[in-house]
Amino acid sequence: MQRFFFHINFTGKFITALEGVEFADLDAARNSALRAIRELAADSLAARAKFTLRSARICSEKGEVLAEIFVPEAIREMIPVDLL
């Protein structure tokens, strides 16, 4: 198991994770980030709240950015981006 840190990028605000989460590999961490972004988008829509999340960065324990998932990529399967 590897420890990954999810740093969240909102419009005008960046939140750095202090605690990591263990996953088998980067693909598992990436899938978790995709699900989290989709859940946050769905919650925001349901609440009719402004959605300011831009991306989630998956980082190593050393602080290296291993992947960055942008909102359009995450919600593409739910809502075709050309409709946005």
Give the pLDDT confidence of 3-49 residue by residue, as tens digits.
999 999 999 899 999 899 999 999 999 999 999 999 999 999 899 99
pTM recorded for the entire structure: 0.85
Given this model, what pLDDT does residue 83 score?
60
Asked if 54 contacts 44 with a C-beta cutoff of 8 angstroms, the reply is: no
Given this model, what pLDDT does residue 79 score?
74
Asked if 21 contacts 31 with a C-beta cutoff of 8 angstroms, the reply is: no
Q: Give dist(CA 36, CA 44) in Å, integer.
A: 12
Q: Give dist(CA 66, CA 68) in Å, integer.
A: 7
Residue 80 pLDDT > 90, yes or no? no
